[in-house]
Amino acid sequence: MDNHLTVNMDEFLPLRDVVFNTLRKAILTGELKPGERLMEIHLANQLGVSRTPIREAIRKLELEGLVIMIPRRGAEVAQITEKSLRDVLEVRRALDALCVELACERISADEIGQLKKACDAFEYATKTKDATTIAEADVALHDIIVQATRNRRLIQLINNLSEQMYRYRFEYIKDESGHEHLVNEHRMIYESILHRDKQKAAEASKTHIDNQEKSIISQLRIEQEQNQKKNEIPSAEKPHKRV
């Protein structure tokens, strides 16, 4: 593990929560990679804390599905699987379509202006080539639509799901070839809401999610192939069986 994690102390949060937030962010942003072992002593030394808050954080991360416990190996960052991706995106696809339909009915003129600026900000963010900057601009844009629904329960559901989405969002944002498509899809959603066209808004929103799914699955498969090649032993290096 060659990451250089740092813990940012928050005077308003207990140490265990600060450690949990630090490790969680590292997993969501890919700083701690899928399959990477989480060794308590190493993490405690790195963050300058005792093993107790590390142990508590790992337990909470396991409950969230971000960490899995492997017999005789300990804690590892959970792999991103096609099944887990599809499970999350199936729900997100339906909720996002509902969000844009409600936004068409309830969004204010001020929020329309904010959404336009958010589209511009996202396009600018893609030019930075920085995944964190792009992801934050993406979240900010979608948050305006979600808040415009005026439905507190829906906002709560989306916020809970967004935490799981963040990890996948980083996967598709890493694919720079798709940035132009993302910009255009955001523009289509904005235009549909601007004209209060619920059907077009829902279709644009679903297309947006469907394209994300294709992009992420494609990247997952490429990474799996690369990992398999790394693990394969060239025939010349394979040990000869004794006759």
pLDDT digits (tens, 9 = 90+) for 98-118: 999 999 999 999 999 999 999
Return mean pLDDT, the chain: 89
Would you state the pLDDT for residue 243?
41
**DSSP-assigned beta bridge partners for residue 29:** none
| DSSP secondary structure, 67-95, as one string | EEEETTTEEEEPP--HHHHHHHHHHHHHH
Would you state the pLDDT for residue 93?
97
CB contact at 8 A, 115 and 193: yes
Helices 198-231, 179-194: crossing angle, 10 deg rounding: 160
| Distance (Å, whole) CA 100 – CA 15 | 39
Average pLDDT, integer, range 81-102? 94
Average pLDDT, integer, range 207-229? 87
Q: What is the pTM of this model?
A: 0.79
Average pLDDT, integer, range 71-95? 92
Query: Residue 240 — very low, low, confident or very high, per pLDDT cuts 50/70/90?
Result: low
Task: Give per-residue pLDDT as tens, 135-148.
Answer: 999 999 999 999 99
Task: Give per-residue pLDDT as tens, 150-163.
Answer: 999 999 999 888 87
If you compute the radius of gyration of the chain from its CA atoms, what whole number of angstroms results? 21
Would you state the pLDDT for residue 221?
87
Report the range out of 69-73, 119-123, 136-140, 160-164 with the highest average pLDDT: 119-123
Task: Give per-residue pLDDT as tens, 7-53.
Answer: 776 657 889 999 999 999 899 878 898 899 999 999 999 999 999 99
